[in-house]
Structure 1
Amino acid sequence: MSSDALRNSLLAARDRRQELLDTLFPTPFPATVMLSLNLPGGEKTGARADRLFAWGERALLAAMNGSAAARGHDALGPFALYRTRLLATQVKRLGIAVEGAYPAGRLLDLDVYDHAGNQMGRADLDVAPRNCLICREPALACIRAGRHSSDELARAARALIDAL
């Protein structure tokens, strides 16, 4: 698949996920969580992605009591939406703890929304942004500066998953 085709496929998947999210709000549940993967490069699906997602799902559900609202698999990989009676701030803190529990947790993407659909971010809790997989600088700064190749980041991600 060409890089343009891959990019278009990923953007279309992101748009479909947003459309699904938009149908869930407002909700009587204090928080909704989307669990997905934050994998660099073009390899977003397959056995490694499925293994990481299953591990992340077990860790998330052990940390919070929630019920599945939707599940799916697309060009971005597996994803699931959960509703919980916990407050969005509590769930975000639990999600950050799950992401930090193991090195591979860094590859999970736990997006938390309040009852109205407003996303709760790390900055809302005065928590530092995610670090880069390679150099531990803020990931967004490395992405913007193009400090690491997609192949280098993908190799680092595969190593983290393989160590699970």
Structure 2
Amino acid sequence: MAHSIFETGSPVDIAMVLANRDRRVAVQQRILEQTPDETLIVTKLNVPGPIKNNAALQQLFTMGVSRFRSVLAQANLAVTPITEWHELTGNELFWRSSATSAAVKRAAVTFEDTDVLGRIFDVDILTGNPAKAISRTALGFSVRRCFVCQRPAKECARSRRHSVAELQAYFDRLYQQVSH
């Protein structure tokens, strides 16, 4: 049997994850204050368990970002990268676009719902000052589905329906599928 991609990397604890979230929110707010008429796009992986970054996860992130760029290009949506993080808490890319938040969110939903890597990405679309996230449902899209069982993803996350090992096994299979 193949080794798990989660066998390498430095584990992070909840305090580190929460500190990273606070940092992300502050950066998002600063960017939106500086460019209030633009749409902010924040891409990151939804990685289960304490290992949030390593070479394999970096590879999945890079491949997914490239695929999302293709979806944006197909929709004729120009984007400009602002900053990129490759921290123990995960990989994140912040971009901006002069396109409407609705147009960018439609492209993000297309990527998340149709690309095999889109399933493990979280693509947040924000606009305004203060920052306001554009939801899938506000544009008439269904809620995200769990990549293990297809129930609403938030329902599975809240109830912890799937073990970390089960979620990581999905990542392992996906990595084997796209890296060979």
Provide the TM-score with structure 1 as the length reference. 0.89
For the 8 Å contact 2:32–2:40, the answer to whether it is kept is no
Task: Find the counterpart in structure 1 of residue 28 from structure 2.
Answer: 21
Describe the SS at the equivalent of 1:156. helix
Within the candidate set 27, 35, 42, 2:43 is matched to 35
Where structure 2 has 5 or more consecutive residues not aligned to the other structure, the ranges are: 1-10
Within the candidate set 127, 137, 141, 2:151 is matched to 137
The CA deviation at 1:28 is 4.4
Q: Which amino acid aligns with 1:124?
A: A
Within the candidate set 58, 73, 88, 1:50 is matched to 58
Q: Distance in 1 between matches of 2:90 and 2:140?
A: 29
Q: Distance in 1 between matches of 2:175 and 2:105?
A: 23
Describe the SS at the equivalent of 2:81. strand
For the 8 Å contact 1:13–1:76, the answer to whether it is kept is yes
Task: Find the counterpart in structure 2 of residue 7 from structure 1.
Answer: 14
Q: Distance in 2 between matches of 1:67 and 1:152?
A: 36
Q: Which amino acid aligns with 1:20?
A: V
Within the candidate set 107, 130, 146, 2:160 is matched to 146
The CA deviation at 1:150 is 1.0
Where structure 1 has 5 or more consecutive residues not aligned to the other structure, the ranges are: none
The CA deviation at 1:100 is 2.1
Residue 121 (structure 2) pairs with residue 108 (structure 1):
yes
Q: Which amino acid aligns with 1:33?
A: I
Structure 1 residues 120-160: Cα deviation after superposition (integer angstroms, max 9, x where no partner): 11121121111112111111111222221111111112212
Provide the TM-score with structure 2 as the length reference. 0.82
Aligned pair count reads 162
